[in-house]
C-alpha cells in the first residue's frame, strides 16, 4: 500500500486555488516513487498493483456480501490518457457479477431530449456493486463547454451567464444525494501531458493493430488542448467536494497510473470496514437444521 500522505498529494485541497500545472504528469510528484529510476519504478509499481488487485478481490466480495454500500468510480481524461487500459488492469481481479462498466459517448437523440443527468442515473450501481463510468456527466461541463454549439436543444433563456455554475451545482447536489444514500463516489482525472498524447497517437497511427483506436476527431480536439485544460480546471475546482473528492493521477506512465488507481480504490473500500453479515439466532438455527438434514440423507 502507498502511504496515505503520499496519496494526499494527488488530492485537490478544498478551498485552495487549483491549477493543473501544479500536478506532475509523470511520477516526480509521488514521494514514494522518486527514489526509483524508470525500470525499477515499473517493477515497484507492478508489484504494488499485484498486491492491490488481491486485496481488491476480497474487498469486493465483502462489498457484495455487506450489501449496504455501492461504489461509483468515474474516469475522466483527454484522449489516449489510458482510461481503457486502467479499467482493464485494475478491475481484472474483480468478480464481473459485482461490477459494471459504462462508456459514455456522444448522447443519442433520446438522451439529449432529457435532462443532462438522465442517462447517467440509469447506470448507477446497485448496493453491493461497483459501477465504473468511462467518461460521465462531467462531459456535460467539459466537451460541451468547449463546444457550446452542442447545447442547441436548450431554451435560450437557460443559456445565461450562470449556466455552468448551475451545472456544477447540479453535479455537486447529485453526488451528495448519492453519497447520502450509501454510494461512495471516487473521481479520477488521468493527467496526461500533451507530449505523451502525441506519442500515443503516433503509436496508434504507426502500428496497424492499434489503428482502430484512432479517430478523426482526436486531432481536432487536441487542437483545443488549452480550452480543455481550462474547462477541466474550472470543473474540478467547482466539484471537488468533501463528499466526492477528485484525484489527479499522473498518466504519462501507465504502470504508475494503474498502481495509484488500484491503491486508492482498495484503500477507500478498506476504510468502509465492510463485514460479512452477522446471522441472527433464528438464521443460525435454520443452518444447523439444514446441516443435519444433509448429514442424514
For residues 181 and 177, what is the distance between their CA atoms, to the nearest angstrom? 6
By CB under 6 A, name the one of 32, 55, 140, 263 that touches ligand ATP. 140
Least separation, in Å, of the C-beta of 105 and ligand ATP?
A: 4
Task: Name residue, grid cell 473521481.
Answer: 187
Least separation, in Å, of the C-beta of 210 and ligand ATP?
A: 10
CB 178 within 8 A of CB 124: yes
Choices 5-13, 78-86, 157-165, 200-208 (CB under 5 A): range interacting with Mg ion: 78-86
By CB under 6 A, name the one of 20, 101, 117, 143 that touches ligand ATP. 143
CB atoms within 10 A of CB 234: 17
255 binds ligand ATP (CB under 6 A): no
Q: What is the DSSP letter of 242?
A: S
Choices 18-26, 27-35, 136-144, 153-161 (CB under 6 A): range interacting with ligand ATP: 136-144
CB 186 within 8 A of CB 264: yes
79 binds Mg ion (CB under 5 A): yes
CB 82 within 8 A of CB 188: no
Choices 61-69, 72-80, 233-241, 244-252 (CB under 5 A): range interacting with Mg ion: 72-80
CB atoms within 10 A of CB 220: 9
Choices 7-15, 104-112, 261-269, 275-283 (CB under 6 A): range interacting with ligand ATP: 104-112
210 binds ligand ATP (CB under 6 A): no
Least separation, in Å, of the C-beta of 112 and ligand ATP?
A: 8
196 binds ligand ATP (CB under 6 A): no
The option from ligand ATP, Mg ion, none interacting with 38 (CB < 5 to 8 A, set by class) reads none
Nearest alpha carbon to residue 25 among 195, 254, 191, 199: 191
Q: Which residues pair with 72 in a beta bridge?
A: 131, 185
For residues 6 and 184, what is the distance between their CA atoms, to the nearest angstrom? 21
Which triple of cell numbers denotes residue 241? 467536494
Which triple of cell numbers denotes residue 110? 433520446
By CB under 6 A, name the one of 135, 145, 187, 200 that touches ligand ATP. 135
By CB under 6 A, name the one of 3, 16, 106, 285 that touches ligand ATP. 106
Helix (H, G, I), strand (E, B), or coil: what is residue 207? Answer: coil
Identify which of residues 150 and 272 has a Cβ nearer to ligand ATP in the complex.
150
79 binds ligand ATP (CB under 6 A): yes
Q: What are phi and psi of 185, to 5 degrees?
A: -115, 120
Which triple of cell numbers denotes residue 176? 451528495
107 binds ligand ATP (CB under 6 A): yes
Least separation, in Å, of the C-beta of 221 and Mg ion?
A: 8
For residues 213 and 221, what is the distance between their CA atoms, to the nearest angstrom? 15
Residue nearest ligand ATP, CB atom distance: 139
Q: Interface with ligand ATP by CB under 6 A: which residues?
A: 79-80, 83-84, 103-107, 134-135, 139-140, 143-144, 150, 213, 215
Amino acid at each position: 500500500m502507498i502511504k496515505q500522505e503520499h496519496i494526499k498529494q494527488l488530492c485537490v485541497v478544498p478551498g485552495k486555488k487549483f491549477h493543473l500545472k501544479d500536478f506532475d504528469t509523470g511520477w516526480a510528484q509521488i514521494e514514494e516513487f522518486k527514489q526509483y529510476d524508470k525500470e525499477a519504478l515499473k517493477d515497484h509499481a507492478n508489484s504494488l498493483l499485484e498486491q492491490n488487485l488481491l486485496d481488491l478481490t476480497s474487498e469486493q466480495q465483502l462489498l457484495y456480501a455487506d450489501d449496504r454500500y455501492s461504489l461509483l468510480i468515474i474516469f475522466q481524461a483527454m484522449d489516449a490518457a489510458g482510461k481503457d487500459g486502467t479499467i482493464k488492469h485494475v478491475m481484472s481481479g474483480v468478480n464481473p457479477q459485482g461490477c459494471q462498466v459504462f462508456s459514455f459517448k456522444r448522447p443519442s437523440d433520446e438522451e439529449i431530449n432529457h435532462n443532462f443527468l438522465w442517462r447517467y442515473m440509469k447506470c448507477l450501481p446497485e448496493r453491493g456493486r461497483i459501477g465504473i463510468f468511462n467518461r460521465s456527466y462531467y462531459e456535460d461541463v467539459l466537451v460541451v463547454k468547449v463546444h457550446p454549439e452542442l447545447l442547441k436543444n436548450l431554451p435560450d433563456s437557460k443559456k445565461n451567464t450562470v449556466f455552468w455554475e448551475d451545472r456544477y451545482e447540479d453535479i455537486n447536489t447529485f453526488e451528495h444525494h448519492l453519497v447520502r444514500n450509501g454510494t461512495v463516489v471516487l473521481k479520477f482525472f488521468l493527467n496526461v501531458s500533451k507530449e505523451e498524447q502525441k506519442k500515443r497517437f503516433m503509436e496508434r497511427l504507426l502500428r496497424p493493430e492499434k489503428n482502430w483506436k484512432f479517430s478523426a476527431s482526436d486531432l481536432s480536439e487536441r487542437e483545443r488542448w488549452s480550452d480543455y485544460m481550462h474547462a477541466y480546471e474550472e470543473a474540478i475546482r467547482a466539484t471537488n467536494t468533501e463528499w466526492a473528492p477528485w484525484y489527479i493521477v499522473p498518466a504519462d506512465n501507465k504502470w504508475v497510473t494503474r498502481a495509484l488507481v488500484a491503491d486508492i480504490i482498495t484503500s477507500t473500500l478498506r476504510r468502509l470496514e465492510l463485514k460479512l453479515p452477522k446471522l441472527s439466532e433464528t438464521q443460525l438455527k435454520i443452518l444447523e437444521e439444514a446441516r443435519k438434514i444433509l448429514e442424514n440423507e
